[in-house]
Amino acid sequence: MRAMVYRGPYKVRVEEKVMPPIEHPNDAIVRVTLAAICGSDLHLYHGMMPDTRVGMTFGHEFIGVVEQVGSSVQNLKVGDRVMVPFNVYCGSCYFCVRGLYSNCHNVNPNATAVGGIYGYSHTCGGYDGGQSEYVRVPFADVGPSIIPDWLEDEDALMCTDALATGYFGAQLGDISEGDTVVVFGAGPVGLFAAKSSWLMGAGRVIVIDHLEYRLEKARTFAHAETYNFAEYDDIVVEMKKATDYLGADVVIDAVGAEADGNFTQHVTAAKFKLQGGSPIALNWAIDSVRKGGTVSVMGAYGPMFSAVKFGDAMNKGLTLRMNQAPAKRQWPRLFEHIQNGYLKPNDIVTHRIPLEHIAEGYHMFSAKLDDCIKPVIVPGA
Ligand code: NAD
Ligand code: ZN
């Protein structure tokens, strides 16, 4: 089969790979019909996440058709059209029964924090992902759901991560009626977080980025006020001015491991460490929220991001909430909002790229070329 393969930082290729076999009676093999590239994949692509091994296939956002099922699988059959949340999880451990699917204890023996994520390095369990023609789906009775007939493929695809994560980011913000919510990052996660914030009662939503075309999308898609941080000496001061010098009630970090304040494309982990391991957007978030406010961190960080303004957070009495999103937990609410017309998830999809051209897709999405917001990958195209 054809699959995206990681060959080192900034190097991905499409290669011939052996079809994944059923390894356990709980497994299913899914023929991928659509996948997406996520901002999280860029952290791998940039070499920012530990234990990202050459030869791995990325891709934790995918939908497809069940090709084969293991002997104990009961809820799926060959031919079912399925959406698969980005988390790999068992459904029955201490964490899963509490809804913490992204912290499953049974899928990632090496980890103390995160559970399993498809195509997301050996730090997250070493599972190959779905930027591929076929993918092995463990615990097939737990994660995947049959896609309802009324739900279109690209909308289902957005629910596997980006939309579920944006919505979860707003949920963790614990937004009260009338709150001012500031979202750092106008990528797919930030756009969906901004859009979701209104659903939770926000009175004002502000989105910050430095890419004008994405801020335009934040205005039209998420009806947000926008600030281009590159136009201000200090975006934190601007946020203070915008909030009567109180700070925002809730700030959502939808940026994560952006390593380089100059936004050049060739960042290395070593260079980042030399800069002191300071996550720019997260520290801006801590500085922009009011005393007693909440910072919801959806941006993904690896262990090298250590210089967080923890003292400031403590003295401001902040609530910091964060996690990899347990994507499937959000689906029932997302389905309601899609069905009632409030959310049209594939409005943010800008590119549809054949799997064979995925390297160009990574480059474009990483360098933010051609007004790219969300690239979808089409195997077999
Ligand atoms: P993306 O790369 O498309 O978007 C990130 C945006 O942040 C870009 O538009 C970039 O210009 C902007 N940006 C960079 N530095 C900034 C700064 N200092 N202030 C404001 N904006 C800044 O990525 P995405 O797909 O939207 O993902 C966003 C983050 O969410 C990533 O870190 C990703 O790993 C993470 N993520 C987390 C989860 C989760 O479960 N928690 C799930 C999916 C994605
Ligand atoms: Zn993702």
Atom in ligand 1 nearest the alpha carbon of residue 327: 40
Maximum Cα–Cα distance for the chain, whole Å? 62
Question: Which residue ranges form the domains of the chain, and what is each CATH number?
Answer: 2-161+326-378 (3.90.180.10), 167-322 (3.40.50.720)
Burial class (CB in 10 A: 0-12, 13-18, 19+), 72: exposed
240-290 pLDDT per residue, tens:
999 999 999 999 999 987 744 334 434 445 444 444 555 688 889 999 999
Q: What is the pLDDT of residue 119?
A: 98
Cα dist from 125 to 10, 55, 349, 362, whole Å: 22, 15, 29, 23
CA 137 – CA 26 distance, rounded (Å): 9
Q: Are 267 and 368 in contact (CB under 8 A)?
A: no
Question: Which residues surround ligand 1 with Cβ inside 6 Å?
Answer: 38-40, 42-43, 161-162, 165, 184-190, 208-211, 214, 229, 254-258, 280-281, 298-300, 324-325
- Residue 249 Cα to ligand 1 midpoint, Å, equals 21
CB atoms closer than 10 angstroms to residue 112: 5
So what's the pLDDT on residue 225?
98
- SS3 of residue 24 by DSSP: coil
Q: Is 270 exposed, middle or buried (0-12, 13-18, 19+ CB in 10 A)?
A: exposed
pTM for the model stands at 0.95
CA distance 300 to 190: 13
* Alpha-carbon distances of 45 from 29, 265, 354, rounded to whole Å: 25, 11, 19
What is residue 292's three-state secondary structure? strand
Evaluate whether ipTM surpasses 0.90.
yes
Helix (H, G, I), strand (E, B) or coil at 185: coil
pLDDT confidence bin for 309, thresholds 50/70/90: confident
Q: How much is the pLDDT for 257?
A: 78
For ligand 2, the distance from its centroid to the CA atom of residue 40, given in whole angstroms, is 5
Residue nearest ligand 1's atom 44 by CA: 40
Does the structure show a pLDDT above 90 at 301?
Answer: no
State the average pLDDT over residues 140-154: 98
Banded model confidence at residue 305, pLDDT cuts 50, 70, 90 = low
* Index of the ligand 1 atom closest to the CA of residue 43: 34
Instruction: Grade residue 142 by pLDDT with cuts at 50, 70 and 90.
Output: very high
CB count within 10 Å of CB 9 equals: 16
DSSP string, 296-363: EE-S---TT-----HHHHHHTT-EEEE----HHHHHHHHHHHHHTTS--GGGGEEEEEEGGGHHHHHH
Nearest ligand for residue 166 CA:
1
DSSP string, 42-108: HHHHTT-STT--TT-----EEEEEEEEE-TT--S--TT-EEEE-SEE--SSSTTGGGT-GGG-SSS-
